[in-house]
Amino acid sequence: MSNTGYLKRLFQAYYKETGVEVPVVSLFNKREFGFIPWDKQIIMKRHMSFKDHANLAKYLTNEGPRHVYSSGSIYLQPDNTDMNNKQYQGCDLIFDIDVDHFYTPCKNEHDIWYCMECGENGTGMLKKCPKCKKLKIKSLTWICEDCLNIAKEELMRLIYRFLIPDFGIPIDQMKIAFSGHRGYHLKIENKEIRTLSSEERREIANYVSGNNISLDILGLTKINEIIYGLLGNNIGWPEKIINKIIEILQQYSDDRIRLLLTKFGLHKDIIRSFLNSKSDFLQMISQNKDNIWNIEGFGLKNWSTFLNGIISEISIEIDEPVTIDIHRLIRYPGSLHGKTGFKVQELYPDDLDDFNPLNELNEKLDPIVFKSKKQITQKLEVLETKVPATKIKGELFGPYTQGEKIEVPHYFAIFLLCKEVAKTI
C-alpha cells in the first residue's frame, strides 16, 4: 500500500473512532465545506454542506480527507456552486497567524531550501537564490517549539493588545484553534462584525499589522525648526508606540538598543546621539506633557525611521488576505492536518499560556493523536536530502539524511509520512 493510502486509512479510522468528538461550529448547516483528498490530482472539493453533524462524521469516516475546511461565511445555500447564488449572509472575522509568513530565528536552523536552477542550498527563509538570484526555490519548512511559541505570542498580543482594548471585542466571542501545523486561527463570531465588507476588514488588518500608519496624523510634525512627537495619552497607536519606547528605554541595555536601532536602519552616529539623550527623552515622554522631541541629529526623516521601526515591533504578523477575504475557508476544528497528522485543536483563551502543541501535557488539548500506549514503532526510509532534527513529546529525533533507515514511534512516523520526507519499509 502507498503511503497516502496508509495515511488515508489511518485518518478514516481516527474519524470513525472519534467522529462524535469533532465539534459543531455555530450555524453549522449554513457553512460551506471544502476537502482536499489524498489524490493529488484533485485540488479541492468544495461547495459542500451538511444537514447535521452526523452527516459530516459519516463523510469524514468514509473519505478520510487529507484536509478539512469550513467557511467563515454564512450562506442560505452554502452548497451552490455559483458564489453569486449562495445568498451570502455575512462572515465571521478571521485571523490566521502562521510562521510560514514571517521570519523567526529558528528557521535558520530547521527550514531548508534548495535552488532548482543552480543546486545551491542552505537554511533559513528566502525567496530567491543568493548565488544565481533565481526564484526557483524548493523549501522544506519545519516546526519547533520556538516558532510555535512565537506564533502563540502573536495571537495573545492580537487578542489582549488590539482586539479587546482597541475594538472592544468580548473574549467569549473569540474562537481559537491551533492549526495543526505552524500557527493559530482566531474567528470572531459577532452579528455586527459579520456585516463588514472586505474593505472594512482590510482596514482592520492594516490597523493590527501597522500598515499605512500616518505619523503626521499621529502627531509627528515640524514647526519652525521644532519637532513635535507623539503623546501617549492619545489612545490607539500613539499610546502603543509611547509605551513601547518607554519599555525599550527602561528595560533594554545600551547594546540591545544599539542592535535594535541598527535593525531599524539608523546610522551609528544617530544611535550614539540617541543613547546619550535617552534619560532625558525617557523623562520627557514619561511625563506625557511636553512632546518636543529634541535629540541632536534627529530630523523628521530619522524620527520617521525610528517610529516605523517601533511600529514593526508592536504590529501583529497576520496573513492579511485571510482576514480580508469574505469567502475564505479555514480549517475545521477537530479535523486532522494532512501535513502533520496533528489535530486542529480548539482552545479557550485561558489555555494559551501553558499550551505546547509539541509536548502538551493536558490529554484533552493534545493535538498529537496518533500515540500508542504500547510504544509501537515503525520503520521508515528517509526520502528527503536532509530532514531537520525534531523535538516532539520531549524526545529529539534526527537529523536524518536521504536513504537512512530509521525506526521511530508511531506518532512521529505519521508526522514524517505526512510531511512526505519518508516512506514505510
**Residue range 278-327, pLDDT digits in tens:** 999 999 898 876 788 989 989 999 999 999 999 999 999 999 999 999 99
Residue 136 vs residue 232, higher pLDDT? 136
Question: Is the distance from CB of 35 to CB of 44 less than 8 angstroms?
Answer: yes
Q: Is the pLDDT of residue 231 over 80?
A: yes
Separation of alpha carbons 12 and 6, rounded Å = 10
Q: Is the pLDDT of residue 359 over 70?
A: yes
Which pLDDT score is estimated for 411?
97
Residue 375 vs residue 327, higher pLDDT? 327
Residue 230 Ramachandran class (φ > 0 left, ψ -120 to 50 alpha, else beta): beta
**Residue range 15-60, pLDDT digits in tens:** 999 877 889 999 999 999 999 999 988 899 999 999 999 999 999 9
Q: Is the pLDDT of residue 353 over 90?
A: yes
Which pLDDT score is estimated for 175?
97
Q: Is the pLDDT of residue 127 over 90?
A: no
pLDDT bucket at 392, cuts 50 / 70 / 90: very high
Which pLDDT score is estimated for 40?
87
Residue 322 burial (CB < 10 Å; 0-12/13-18/19+)? buried
Q: Is the pLDDT of residue 234 over 90?
A: no
Return the C-alpha cell found at 207: 490597523
pLDDT bucket at 1, cuts 50 / 70 / 90: low
Which pLDDT score is estimated for 196?
98
pLDDT bucket at 387, cuts 50 / 70 / 90: very high
Share of the chain above pLDDT 70, in %: 100
Separation of alpha carbons 241 and 308, rounded Å = 10
Which pLDDT score is estimated for 374?
79
Which pLDDT score is estimated for 21?
83
Which pLDDT score is estimated for 20?
76
**Residue range 162-195, pLDDT digits in tens:** 999 999 999 999 999 999 999 999 999 999 999 9
Q: Is the pLDDT of residue 131 over 70?
A: yes
In one-letter notation, the amino acid at residue 19 is G
**Cα separation values, 306 from 244, 278, 317, Å:** 12, 13, 19
pLDDT bucket at 232, cuts 50 / 70 / 90: confident
pLDDT bucket at 375, cuts 50 / 70 / 90: confident
Q: What is the mean pLDDT of the chain?
A: 95
Q: Is the pLDDT of residue 373 over 80?
A: no
**Residue range 236-250, pLDDT digits in tens:** 999 999 999 999 999
List, in sequence order, every residue forming a beta bridge with 123; answer none if it has no partner: 112
**Residue range 95-123, pLDDT digits in tens:** 999 999 899 999 999 999 999 999 999 99
